[in-house]
Amino acid sequence: MTATLQQTLLAPDTQPQVVADCQALIEQQVSGMSGISGNAVKVASKTVLAFAPGHVQYMVQTLLPQMTEELEPYWADFTASGGAEFGDYLAKRGGEVSESLLSVTDARAAGSGRTTIVKAYRAVRGSAAKHVVAALPDVGALVQKYAA
């Protein structure tokens, strides 16, 4: 039987590497953004870093189990179909996958009492789906690096 993404990505010896790679991916994606929505994300990111250093790493660690759970059905379908690149698979389902992943952050924001962070999240949520879609090839490659 094949291991699930949760069993693979959240294994004690693998999870710290996955968290570090996710954090690097987030930083890379944010730094490469442009335009009005990209600038809004950069401002929100700087706000979070200024008011809560270490918050991004904490959130990656906290959200990784739920994000992995959201990716699980896509991974199962991808492996069953014999696809070559999980990033390509995710990109072809961009809207659906991005909303699955954003449902996790939406729920987290809805339950947060940190006003500054919630305000920063709300400022970028409208354009978040397109940024997540743009990152899906890299997200897929990251997952495949550990799960394949």
Q: Give the start-to-end residue ranges of the domains of the chain.
A: 14-147
**For 55, how many CA atoms within 13 A lie in the half-sphere containing its CB?**
17
Where the chain has pLDDT below 50, the residues are: none
Write the CB contacts of 135 (distance below 8 Å, at least 6 apart in sequence): 25, 29
Single out the residue of 34, 101, 40, 105 nearest to residue 74, CA to CA. 101
Report residue 92 as tokens: 């072809």
Asked if residue 143 lies in contact with residue 5, where contact means CB atoms within 8 angstroms, the answer is yes
Q: What pLDDT score does 1 carry?
A: 55
Encode pLDDT of 103-116 as tens digits: 999 998 888 888 88
Q: What pLDDT score does 124 carry?
A: 80
